[in-house]
Amino acid sequence: MNHKEVTEYREDVHNRVIRIETLVSRIEKHLDKLNNRTNKLEAWRNWMVGAMAGLGFVIGIIKIGAL
C-alpha cells in the first residue's frame, strides 16, 4: 500500500467510526426517552396499587363495622 491508499483507508475508517458514533448517540437518546416513559408508568402503577390497597382496607373496615 502506498501513502495515498493508506490515507484513503484511514479516511474511510474515520467516516465509518463517525457514522457509528452518530447511530449510538441516537440510540442512547431514544433509550433515555423509553426509560423515562417506563419510570413514569412504574410510578403510576405503584400509586394505583397503593390506592387500591387503601380502598380495600377502608372497605374491609366498613364491612367489619369498625367505622
DSSP letter string over 10-63? HHHHHHHHHHHHHHHHHHHHHHHHHHHHHHHHHHHHHHHHHHHHHHHHHHHHHH
User: What's the one-letter identity of residue 13?
Assistant: V
For residue 1, pLDDT over 80 is answered with: no
pLDDT tens digits along 34-58: 999 999 999 999 999 999 999 999 9
Q: What is the pLDDT of residue 64?
A: 87
For residue 30, pLDDT over 60 is answered with: yes
For residue 67, pLDDT over 80 is answered with: no
Percent of the chain with pLDDT over 70: 97
